[in-house]
Structure 1
Amino acid sequence: MTGVTGVAGVPATAGEGAGTAAPDAGAPLVRVRGVHRTYGSGRAAVHALRGVDLDVAPGELVALVGRSGSGKTTLLNVVGGLDRPDAGSVHVDGTDVATLDAAGQVRLRRDVVAFVFQTFGLVPVLSAAENVAVPLRLRALPVADRERRVALLLRLVGLDGHAALRPDELSGGQQQRVAIARALAGSPRLLIADEPTGQLDTETGLAVMALIRAVVEAEGMAAVVSTHDPVMIGLADRAVRLVDGRVLPA
């Protein structure tokens, strides 16, 4: 996406994809093969993932569904480089995530993967605009470029009139929209969202999911979203169901 105009005319930031190999044209953006992840040992061991396979194409929105404890969050963390599998392989945008060192993991989360969490994760003392700007500061983007991109992203999520407000001055839905704008700041290739509407009412949650859907289509990124809501699952291109750490056949 480097040099490509993003959503609503937002230019992609420089440095995108640093440290990753160029994927084959038409290849899945995410390719998970035979992934296992176990916590603990012996009789107390929890087998969170048991031989999981998953492909996600660019421009595709995949919903991960399943009961609590089915392995959804573990799979998201493994794909995003927040956790390592015990066995199997995880490739994201041509990079073998499971083999990255600490510096490689930082580059992955800075340049390729963005996260949206149920708890928003905004910095309380920063304004909405300052929260969105955090990833751009980490990239040392020039001030004028940073301010322009932040303004456009806040307009994209419908909060251009709330730029100066801090998180405690925003509703839950508005805070989640700021979190999405922050996730998009670095023009990621993959958006990972773990129950992003879990703390929102149905109407607001649906609006947030519709926003993610629109962003995926416009930017051509991939998105993997865990959710329990059947209405929100309906907005995805497909649903992947996990049961006891295994993906059920489609």
Structure 2
Amino acid sequence: MSAGPAAGPLVSVRGVHRTYGTGAATVHALRDVSFDLTPGTMVALVGRSGSGKTTLLNVIGGLDRPDAGTVRVDGVEVTALDEDGLARLRRERVSYVFQTFGLIPVLSAAENVGAPLRLARMPAAERERRVGLLLELVGLAGHAEQRPGELSGGQQQRVAIARALAASPRLLIADEPTGQLDAETGLSVMALLRGVVESEGVTALVSTHDPTMIALADRVIRIRDGRLDGQEAP
């Protein structure tokens, strides 16, 4: 993956279609979707369940391939990458935060955050410094040795965010990151993501339903039946 950082938009989506099934069972998950994301912004992706939000996030992050159209992230054409290239993209440029936290139960908070850095073979001293800085950033410096089962849901999600930031990604994709949290905890997690965008300089694309959380975003993209708001049906 030799392309350097993008000079224009960090993310550029052009004419993306994604269809599942055939015949009467056909589902048009994405229909001719196009937009750009500016570097260093927090963008809320809003739509009802089944609107195409998760499919769009997966296509942008290289977890799914569109049937047509192109996606570029940080100067790299995601839709042209082979499996090795997609793995490098997710290791070096794109990170994920999910509803279900996805932490490794037997590892401490610090070990979970440091796992991507171990895979990248970062030297131990440098890795420990980075992990310490990230746990401090998410307000969990005093919980480094606790395992996920000893943490609240909100704390686990903060660990997941710290882990997602470990390798200094350019794009952070969060799919309903507050879906399993109460309203107050969810708002604090969204406020944390807002702060991360400003302090780490990442671009965050966050799917959510919550109007209070949407208010924290720099921009809102609304999707309905696989089309962005304002698109006309063909």
TM-score by length of 1: 0.91
1:62 to 26, 29, 43: 43
Separation of aligned partners in 2, 1:96 and 1:155: 34
Separation of aligned partners in 2, 1:132 and 1:23: 25
Contact 2:169–2:202 (8 Å) recurs in 1: yes
Identity %: 72
Counterpart in the other structure of 1:248: 229
Counterpart in the other structure of 1:219: 200
Counterpart in the other structure of 1:84: 65
Aligned length: 231
Contact 2:6–2:74 (8 Å) recurs in 1: no
Give the match's secondary structure for 1:208: helix
Deviation at 1:249, TM superposition (A): 2.3
Counterparts of 1:89-238 in structure 2, within 5 Å, are 89-238=70-219
Give the match's secondary structure for 2:30: strand
Separation of aligned partners in 2, 1:28 and 1:119: 30
CA RMSD of aligned residues (A): 1.0
Structure 1: runs of 5+ lacking an equivalent: 1-18
Separation of aligned partners in 2, 1:119 and 1:36: 27
The AA in structure 2 aligned to 1:59 is G
Deviation at 1:54, TM superposition (A): 1.6
Separation of aligned partners in 2, 1:24 and 1:203: 36
Deviation at 1:162, TM superposition (A): 0.5
Separation of aligned partners in 1, 2:225 and 2:59: 16
Give the match's secondary structure for 1:196: coil
Separation of aligned partners in 2, 1:172 and 1:219: 23
Contact 1:124–1:166 (8 Å) recurs in 2: yes
Separation of aligned partners in 1, 2:2 and 2:219: 27
Give the match's secondary structure for 2:160: helix
Give the match's secondary structure for 2:121: coil
Separation of aligned partners in 2, 1:81 and 1:20: 17
CA distances 1:6-52 after superposition (whole Å, capped 9, x unpaired)? xxxxxxxxxxxxx2412453x10000000000111111011100000
**Measured at CA, do residues 246 and 20 of structure 1 come closer, stay the same or move farther in structure 2, by a change above 3 Å?**
farther
Deviation at 1:167, TM superposition (A): 0.5
Contact 1:20–1:93 (8 Å) recurs in 2: no
Q: Does 1:21 align with 2:6?
A: no
CA distances 1:110-163 after superposition (whole Å, capped 9, x unpaired)? 000000000000011111000000110110000111111111110110101111
Counterpart in the other structure of 1:73: 54
